[in-house]
Chain A
């Protein structure tokens, strides 16, 4: 509906019953380009932040998932418990102390800060999911590689990474969708440089001279479509990841 409406003239958007036959127009997209140019910068920011956060979260989750799958020690059990426990804390609570700390470090309004924050909020789930997937890889495989003289990092790269690719995709789906859409942290920690797409959408929605629905729909379409296609393409992994993370963790 958003998508269809983005190609309508403003006066056609609210007709009742909704018009399905209309002459499509690109004027909303042109208007978006002319009046909200920073939306495209924000899309680029979103892209950078999402990709980097995904890589960071997936790599650190695989490493930790491997450790929890292959080693047993009370200290490890304790730290795994800590990972789950920490996920229960509402994100807004930590914005309060982080805000001055981030300012002092000069990290406010940087890509780096959002990348780390987004990855942080997903490594708990990511680690659980990866552990479930790696548990299914027979230990004999890494033992055999070990006997063949492979080092720990070689085992990780040559045996674990390829065999747990499905799990890595599952984790990546979560981080991508979350980082692409996240509002709260972006709202509090960015002003101009690292502003993400949802934030500009919110500004358009809030703009004083009434909402320009057509332009807003055009922007929403650009923000929504890539990740929508992605989620539909990756739904198999989404289901696998959620079941691994929620029912076993």
Chain B
């Protein structure tokens, strides 16, 4: 896509599809998102652990929800975003889209892992077991393996172009599992409790709890963006190492 040069450059979003244009923009955005992430995290933890009341049935143990729910949401959402960038890559042939997908995958895997870990820590006192073969838990584990498969595939192919496209195909195939995970609680009546927030019924929680959870979700969101952007910058440097602008940047000692 050839960027047009009429009007101010920031109006033309497509010009940022070029790694050269995107690299400095990402560099400027990372501290912004990282600070917001820390800010939201501090506020969310304070609200969740100090202000929110104890829960009627589960006492204080429920508070891990402030980590568990945001990480679970992010784990599912990041895969959808990955699939979105993969479709963009296959449809528009933009290299940056594939790099975005690959930069998102480790964060997605981390979120899925944290979701499983916090779930296990929560399950032990509440259900009396670390793990059950419940639909939701198992499908989250499968999502974790989908991330690992994506990472393994893209890392084991040496030619960047093939790695990008192969990863895109895989991400698109895998995305059909995400709705299964999301609706598993509804479809199978199992041990895992139903969603605490739903579109039809609104929230079933006290408002401080809800706000704390949403703030923590925003924190997870901001962190994921910052982590992804910084990984994309590394990928750009690796891929574009032969180009003049990268060499100039390195020569200038600029980060």
Chain A partners chain B: no
Which residues in B have some Cβ–Cβ distance to A below 8 Å? Answer: none
